[in-house]
Structure 1
Amino acid sequence: MPADRRAGLLPGVDRAALAVALADRLRRRGVPVGFTATEDFVRGLEVSPPDSVSDLYWTARITFVRRHTELEAFDAVFAAVFGGVVTALDPNARRRRVPEPGGDDAFAPVPAPSAEVEGGGGLPWVTLPPVTAEAETAFTAQAVPERLPSDVEGLADVPFEQLDERAAEVLGEWLRAAVAAWPTRRSRRTATGPRGRRVSVRATAERSRRTGWEPFHLVRERPVDKPRRVVMLCDVSQSMQAQAAAYLHMMRALALVAGAEVFAFATSLTRLTPALTHRSAAVAVEQATEKVADRFGGTRIAANVHALLASHHGAKLRGAIVIIGSDGWDSDDPESLAAGMARLRRRAHRVIWMNPRASAPGFEPTVAGMAAALPYCDRLLPADTFRSLRQVIDEVSRIR
Structure 2
Amino acid sequence: MTSMDRGGSSDAPAPRPHAGAVLASGVVDSLTAAPDEDAVLRDLVAFTRLLRNAGVPVTPDRTATYLRALREIDVASEVATYWAGRLTLCSDPDDVARYDQAFHAWFSSDPRDQRMGRPAPPKPRTATIAALNPPSRSGEGEQDDDVPELKVAASGEEVLRDRDIAELTIGEREHLRRMLALLTPNPPRRRARRRRPGPRGEPDARRTLRATLRHAGEIPGLARRQRRERPRRVVILLDVSGSMAPYADALLRFAHVLTRRTPQAVETFTLGTRLTRVTRELRQRDPERALRDAGSAIPDWSGGTRLGEVLAAFLDRWGQRGVARRAVVVVFSDGWERGGTDLLGEQMARLARLAHTVVWVNPHAGKRGYEPVQGGIAAALPHVDRLLAGHSLATLQELTEVLADA
The TM-score range, normalised by the shorter chain, is: 0.5 to 0.7
Aligned to 1:166: 174
Aligned to 2:232: 228
> Aligned match of 1:136 in 140, 144, 148?
140
* One-letter amino acid of the structure 2 residue matched with residue 248 of structure 1: L
- 1:9-28 matched pairs, under 5 angstroms: none
- 1:159-308 matched pairs, under 5 angstroms: 159-161=164-166, 162-164=168-170, 166-175=174-183, 177=184, 179-180=185-186, 182-193=187-198, 195-212=199-216, 215-258=219-262, 259-308=265-314
Cα distance in 2 between the residues matched to 1:264 and 1:225: 29
C-alpha contact (below 8 Å) 2:190/2:230 kept by paired residues: yes
Aligned to 2:381: 374
Cα distance in 2 between the residues matched to 1:212 and 1:157: 67
* Alignment CA distance shift 1:213-1:367 (3 Å): same
Cα distance in 2 between the residues matched to 1:286 and 1:313: 26
* Alignment CA distance shift 1:362-1:312 (3 Å): closer
Of 309-318 and 248-257, the range deviating more from structure 2 = 309-318
Q: CA deviation at 1:342?
A: 0.7
Q: Which has the larger radius of gyration?
A: 1
Q: TM-score, normalised by structure 1?
A: 0.62
Aligned to 2:94: none
CA deviation digits over 1:338-394, x for unaligned, max 9?
111111111212111111111222111111111101111112111112222222222
Q: Give ranges in structure 2 of 5+ residues lacking alignment.
A: 1-10, 17-30, 39-135
Secondary structure, in 3 states, of the residue corresponding to 1:169?
Answer: helix
* One-letter amino acid of the structure 1 residue matched with residue 158 of structure 2: E
* Alignment CA distance shift 1:146-1:279 (3 Å): closer
Matched-pair identity in %: 31
* One-letter amino acid of the structure 2 residue matched with residue 323 of structure 1: V
Q: TM-score, normalised by structure 2?
A: 0.61
Cα distance in 1 between the residues matched to 2:286 and 2:155: 23
C-alpha contact (below 8 Å) 1:152/1:170 kept by paired residues: no
Aligned to 2:74: none
Q: CA deviation at 1:172?
A: 2.4
CA deviation digits over 1:178-199, x for unaligned, max 9?
x13x332222121112x12222
Aligned to 2:316: 310
Aligned to 1:346: 353
* One-letter amino acid of the structure 2 residue matched with residue 166 of structure 1: E
Cα distance in 1 between the residues matched to 2:318 and 2:15: 70
Aligned to 1:358: 365
* One-letter amino acid of the structure 1 residue matched with residue 35 of structure 2: G
Of 235-244 and 156-165, the range deviating more from structure 2 = 156-165
Q: CA deviation at 1:264?
A: 0.6
* Alignment CA distance shift 1:147-1:279 (3 Å): closer
* Alignment CA distance shift 1:342-1:138 (3 Å): closer
* Alignment CA distance shift 1:168-1:289 (3 Å): farther
1:149 aligns with 2:145: no
CA deviation digits over 1:129-156, x for unaligned, max 9?
xxx9733385456998644426743533
Q: CA deviation at 1:166?
A: 3.5
C-alpha contact (below 8 Å) 1:152/1:174 kept by paired residues: no
Q: CA deviation at 1:239?
A: 1.2
C-alpha contact (below 8 Å) 2:318/2:324 kept by paired residues: no
Q: CA deviation at 1:167?
A: 3.0
* One-letter amino acid of the structure 2 residue matched with residue 174 of structure 1: L
Q: Give ranges in structure 1 of 5+ residues lacking alignment.
A: 1-20, 38-131
Secondary structure, in 3 states, of the residue corresponding to 2:200?
Answer: coil
* Alignment CA distance shift 1:350-1:157 (3 Å): same
Q: CA deviation at 1:210?
A: 2.5
C-alpha contact (below 8 Å) 1:334/1:368 kept by paired residues: yes
* One-letter amino acid of the structure 1 residue matched with residue 309 of structure 2: A
* Alignment CA distance shift 1:150-1:274 (3 Å): farther
* One-letter amino acid of the structure 2 residue matched with residue 260 of structure 1: V
Cα distance in 2 between the residues matched to 1:327 and 1:255: 23
Aligned to 1:397: 404
Q: CA deviation at 1:286?
A: 0.5
Cα distance in 1 between the residues matched to 2:239 and 2:223: 51
Equivalent residues, number? 277
Cα distance in 1 between the residues matched to 2:386 and 2:196: 35
Q: CA deviation at 1:22?
A: 7.5
* Alignment CA distance shift 1:356-1:312 (3 Å): closer
